[in-house]
A and B are shown apart, each in its own frame.
Chain A
Amino acid sequence: DTGVSQDPRHKITKRGQNVTFRCDPISEHNRLYWYRQTLGQGPEFLTYFQNEAQLEKSRLLSDRFSAERPKGSFSTLEIQRTEQGDSAMYLCASSLGVGPNTEAFFGQGTRLTVV
Chain B
Amino acid sequence: KQEVTQIPAALSVPEGENLVLNCSFTDSAIYNLQWFRQDPGKGLTSLLLIQSSQREQTSGRLNASLDKSSGRSTLYIAASQPGDSATYLCAVRSYSGAGSYQLTFGKGTKLSVIP
**A residues at B contact (CB < 8 Å):** 4, 6, 33, 40-45, 48, 55-56, 89, 91, 93, 99-109, 111
Contact = CB atoms under 8 A, between A and B. Distances in A.
Contact of A45 (B4, B43, B103): B103
Interface of B: 4, 31-32, 34, 36, 41-46, 49, 51-52, 89, 91, 93, 95-108
A70 to B, nearest CB: 21
Q: Which of A4, A56, A89, A104 has the most CB of B within 10 A?
A: A104
Contacts, number: 70
Given A43-B44, A106-B36, A107-B43, A100 B103 contact: no
A26 B70 CA distance: 34
Contact of A104 (B4, B51, B96, B103): B103
Contact of A56 (B31, B45, B102): B102
B102 A45 contact: yes
Contact of B98 (A56, A104, A107, A111): A56
Given A102-B32, A103-B32, A103-B46, 7 more contacts: A42-B91, A42-B107, A56-B97, A56-B100, A101-B32, A103-B49, A108-B42
